[in-house]
């Protein structure tokens, strides 16, 4: 894993597949990634982007931790750092990409937070 993150291609490959981008901190999205791969039946093109677990408590600039130009139909946000997550959600909003951000992100506009 690099400081800028790491993108790994998953199942599916052509544009006919629904594109899901999982942004995770460390391997926080691993159970969901495994579930999509196991139960998705090849219907999804799955990509991941990982940011380091140990980040400074406050980040003024988060660009180094986010993908430059996310290409997805849906983003799943499993980043626990609030600055990175907030900027990710804003980036997706600007691009019109819906975001599912489980957990404590209920107050962030644009992201859908499923009930727990």
Does residue 23 lie within any of the structural domains? yes
Does residue 20 lie within any of the structural domains? yes
Does residue 28 lie within any of the structural domains? yes
Q: Global pTM?
A: 0.81
In this structure, what CATH number is given to the domain that contains residue 108? 3.40.50.2300
DSSP 63: G
Q: Which whole-number Å values give the CA distances from 67 to 40, 42, 96, in the listed order?
A: 24, 24, 15
Does residue 82 lie within any of the structural domains? yes
Does residue 54 lie within any of the structural domains? yes
Does residue 2 lie within any of the structural domains? no
Does residue 1 lie within any of the structural domains? no
Domain count, the chain: 1
Q: Which domain holds residue 11?
A: 7-112
pLDDT band at 3 (very low <50, low <70, confident <90, very high): very low
pLDDT in tens, 61-86: 999 999 999 999 999 999 999 999 99
Backbone dihedral angles phi then psi of residue 75, each to the nearest 5 degrees: -115, 130
Whole-number pLDDT of residue 106: 54
């Amino acid at each position: 894993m690099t400081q800028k993150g790491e993108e790994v291609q998953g199942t599916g490959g052509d544009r006919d597949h629904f594109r899901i981008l999982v942004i995770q901190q460390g391997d926080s999205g691993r159970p969901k990634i495994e579930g999509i791969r196991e139960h998705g039946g090849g219907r999804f093109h799955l990509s991941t982007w990982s940011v380091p677990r140990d980040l400074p408590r406050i980040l003024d600039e988060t660009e180094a931790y986010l993908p430059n130009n996310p290409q997805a139909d849906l983003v799943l946000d499993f980043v626990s750092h609030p600055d990175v997550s907030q900027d990710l959600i804003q980036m997706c909003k600007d691009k019109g990409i819906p975001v599912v951000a489980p957990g404590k992100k209920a107050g962030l506009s644009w992201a859908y937070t499923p009930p727990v």
